[in-house]
């Protein structure tokens, strides 16, 4: 897929857009399960891969295809597979690459759903995971074994908010003949692209910043087409590599795992996500500036024990945020108070912020991770994931910054 010459803000509005019926500039919603063909020969050619086109929405749909085209362009080229959720994207990628006996080498600070997938679900299929501090490059290097087939990290850990050196991890993976996959949900293509970070595969939950309104669920895998799958470590890619070369991953994922497990995107969801893309750059600017304003306020409040936001001037991750993401640290932060009871009281007092399990919404959202998304884990695991009992996670929205700060001020200042 060719690269787009425009800047990211223009790409988000115009990239990959083709006029619909009557000159429509919005992507049409093709709400159809199946697509009729005039001849049996044409349908056979489509099933055998000798021709391209929609057959059945589980395997491809024009509305979803338009979303995939735009996402790939935003990441600097390659191919994209839109999925039913962010977890469907990661699951599809993992099951495309890994076989029984293989191992994934992952960051130890992950979103709870991903951690559960790697720790609990994949082992049922003979796939194991090893977890390493994402800031410890030497630890990653030493943890690679002859069974390792994939390295996986988040660009900014959720909820721990640590910031790994992704380009260095990419180089480490490539030196070992392995692909690096990154979850860019928290940063989005606006803060960094697959090209700038050097990763081979990207996954994200499009439900979050890309949608931006909390109205739909979705995910995506981006294959940059730069990793050579023609390796003894990946013999199952050989049939696809002969035809699709460096896009053997996309071909195998579509033809096998994505098709067979059925984690496809719904056409209407793809439409909503395409609409959300248009304002992503504007929203990310506001998310970042509002999060910094709230973090600075919380830092100075006497009832706040500590604030974790990589964009703060004294954050240990500030230098990496500056180098990789232009100084913008997205809209996610955490802060700690006296204990769990205090955290609950503050959440219950908030009037503007909504208490729910998501991030990346236009609205400011809060959650107590230890009792919700990380509730199934031990205290040691919670600490490793950045979800201690005294911690509140905030997904800072695009409201007026003073209103957001005032909401947290009144919740922290109340004496009852």
pLDDT of residue 25: 85
Can you give the pTM of this predicted structure? 0.95
Q: What percent of the chain has pLDDT over 70?
A: 99
Confidence of residue 319 (pLDDT cuts 50, 70, 90): very high
- Sign, CA torsion 312/313/316/321: positive
Task: Categorize the per-residue pLDDT at 243 as very low, low, confident or very high, splitting at 50, 70 and 90.
Answer: confident
pLDDT score for 232:
93
Residue 298, pLDDT above cutoff 90: yes
Gap between the Cα atoms of 293 and 402, Å rounded: 9
The two beta strands, 354-355 and 365-367, are parallel
Residue 23: the pLDDT is 82
Residue 3: the pLDDT is 55
Kindly state the average pLDDT of the residues 53-62.
93
**Which CA distances in Å does 360 have to 8, 167, 205?**
19, 25, 10
Q: What does the DSSP 8-state code read for residue 118?
A: I
What is the mean pLDDT of the segment spanning 293-321? 98
124 pLDDT higher than 60? yes
In whole angstroms, give the CA distance from residue 5 to residue 402: 37
Q: pLDDT tens digits, residue range 333-378?
A: 999 999 999 999 999 999 999 999 999 999 999 999 999 999 999 9
C-alpha span between 26 and 18 (Å, rounded): 9
Quick one: pLDDT at residue 135? Answer: 97
**For residue 159, is the peptide bond before it cis, meaning its omega torsion is within 30 degrees of 0?**
yes
Q: Which two tokens stand for residue 392?
A: 């509140």
Tell me which of 194 and 415 has the higher pLDDT. 194
pLDDT above 50: residue 1: no
Q: How far apart are CA 126 and CA 8, in angstroms?
A: 41
Is the distance from CB of 243 to CB of 96 less than 8 angstroms?
no
Q: Are 55 and 34 in contact (CB under 8 A)?
A: yes
Quick: pLDDT tens for 3-54. 557 888 898 998 877 777 778 888 999 999 999 999 999 999 998 878 889 9
Q: Binning pLDDT at 50, 70 and 90, where does residue 2 land?
A: very low
Give pLDDT tens digits for 68-122. Answer: 999 999 998 899 999 999 999 999 999 999 999 999 999 999 999 999 999 999 9
The pLDDT, as a whole number, for residue 50 is 85
């Amino acid at each position: 897929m060719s690269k787009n010459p425009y800047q990211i803000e223009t790409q988000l509005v115009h990239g990959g857009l083709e006029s619909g019926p009557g000159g429509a500039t919005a992507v049409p919603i093709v709400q159809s399960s199946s697509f009729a063909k005039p001849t049996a020969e044409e349908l056979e050619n489509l099933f055998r891969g000798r021709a391209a086109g929609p057959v059945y929405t589980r395997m491809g749909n024009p509305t979803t295809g338009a979303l995939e085209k735009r996402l790939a362009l935003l990441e600097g080229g390659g191919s994209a597979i839109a999925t039913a959720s962010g977890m469907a994207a990661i699951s599809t990628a993992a099951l495309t690459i890994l076989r029984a006996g293989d191992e994934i080498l992952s960051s130890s600070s992950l979103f709870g759903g991903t951690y559960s997938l790697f720790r609990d679900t994949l082992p049922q299929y003979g796939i194991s995971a090893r977890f390493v501090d994402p800031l410890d490059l030497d630890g990653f290097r030493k943890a690679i074994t002859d069974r390792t087939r994939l390295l996986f990290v988040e660009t900014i850990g959720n909820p721990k908010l640590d910031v790994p050196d992704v380009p260095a991890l990419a180089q480490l993976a490539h030196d070992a003949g392995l692909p690096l996959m990154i979850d860019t949900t928290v940063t989005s293509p606006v803060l960094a692209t697959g090209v700038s970070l050097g990763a081979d595969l990207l996954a994200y939950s499009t439900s979050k910043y890309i949608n931006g309104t909390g109205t739909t669920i979705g995910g995506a895998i981006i294959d940059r087409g730069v990793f050579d799958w023609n390796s003894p470590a990946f013999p199952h890619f050989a049939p696809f590599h002969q035809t699709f070369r460096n896009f053997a991953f996309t071909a195998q994922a579509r033809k096998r795992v994505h098709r067979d497990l059925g984690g496809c995107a719904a056409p209407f969801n793809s439409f909503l996500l395409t609409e959300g893309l248009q304002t992503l750059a504007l929203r990310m600017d506001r998310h970042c500036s509002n999060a910094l304003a709230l973090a600075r306020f919380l830092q100075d409040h006497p009832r706040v024990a500590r604030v974790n936001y990589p964009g703060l001037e004294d954050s240990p991750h500030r230098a990496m945020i500056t180098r990789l993401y232009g100084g913008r640290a997205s809209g996610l932060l955490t802060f700690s108070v006296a204990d769990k009871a205090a955290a609950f009281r503050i959440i219950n007092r908030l009037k503007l912020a909504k208490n729910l399990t998501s991030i990346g919404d236009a609205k400011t959202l809060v959650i107590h991770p230890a009792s919700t998304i990380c509730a199934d884990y031990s205290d040691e695991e919670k600490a490793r994931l950045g979800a201690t009992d005294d911690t509140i996670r905030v997904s800072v929205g695009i409201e007026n910054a003073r209103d957001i700060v005032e909401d947290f001020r009144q919740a922290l200042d109340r004496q009852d």
